[in-house]
Every structure is written in C-alpha cells, then in structure tokens.
C-alpha cells in the first residue's frame, strides 16, 4: 500500500539486546500520516476529545538512508502488513522523496482575544 506522509525527522540507531546479544538497528522516523495539514476539529473515533494531527513513529531499514533527502518533506511511503508481538501492524518498507515542505506559523490579527 502506498501513502503520502509528511516526514518530520529521521535518526539512525543501533543497540545490542543484552540477553540475546543481537544488534537491533535502523532509522527511526517521525511523521504525520497525511498530506493535508488543514486545521481539524474533533476527529476522535471513540467519542473522546481529539483535535489536530497525531505524530507517528516508525522504523525503516538502514539501507533506505540514501532515500532520505530533506526533512520536513513530503514522501510517498510503501506500507506492508506484518505481525509484531502477535499484533497485525502496518510497517514502513520504503520511501520516496516528493518535495520540500515549508512550515509557517500564521497568527491572524485579533487571534486569542475574547
């Protein structure tokens, strides 16, 4: 499955499991799973209060490092279903840079006044 994500940051990691001595490594990425940053109201699916966009985190293989061009930026990502700890999850398998993103804070005149 392919989707457009606003990628915010990426950081390489490597750590050794103390028990198994296996090295776990990859690139941790933070993203917003959307290409639309229009302001949102209450989007909760469980009836509770929720406003805005949720930031998600995933791990991609270190061999994808060369595909990370700029962040923040728009990327087309390839997702695959996988079973992790007996749960079905969507994992990021690949990404392709689509273009830069410029984030600006715009405060309209009179904002915040009652």
pLDDT of residue 59: 92
Per-residue pLDDT reduced to its tens digit, 61-104: 999 999 999 999 999 999 999 888 888 888 899 999 999 988 78
3-state SS assignment for residue 40: coil
Q: Which of 94, 87, 69, 101 is nearest to 2 (CA)?
A: 94
- CA end-to-end span of the chain: 46
What value does the mean pLDDT take over residues 39-61?
A: 74
pLDDT of residue 41: 59
Which whole-number Å values give the CA distances from 71 to 49, 67, 103, in the listed order?
30, 11, 11
Q: Is the pLDDT of residue 56 over 80?
A: yes
Answer whether the bond into residue 69 is a cis peptide, omega within 30°. Answer: no
Q: Where are the domains of the chain?
A: 2-16+24-38+52-100
Decide yes or no: CATH 2.40.50 for domain 2-16+24-38+52-100.
yes
């Amino acid at each position: 499955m392919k989707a457009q994500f606003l990628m915010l940051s990426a950081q390489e990691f490597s750590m050794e499991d103390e028990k198994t001595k296996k090295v776990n490594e990859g690139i941790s990425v933070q993203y917003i799973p959307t290409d639309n940053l229009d302001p949102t109201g209450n989007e909760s699916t469980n009836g509770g209060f929720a406003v805005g966009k949720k930031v998600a985190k995933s791990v991609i293989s270190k061999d994808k490092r060369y595909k990370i061009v700029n962040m923040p930026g728009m990327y087309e990502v390839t997702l695959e279903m996988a079973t992790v700890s007996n749960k079905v999850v969507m994992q990021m398998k690949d990404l392709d840079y689509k273009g830069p993103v410029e984030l600006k804070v715009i405060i309209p005149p009179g904002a915040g006044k009652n």
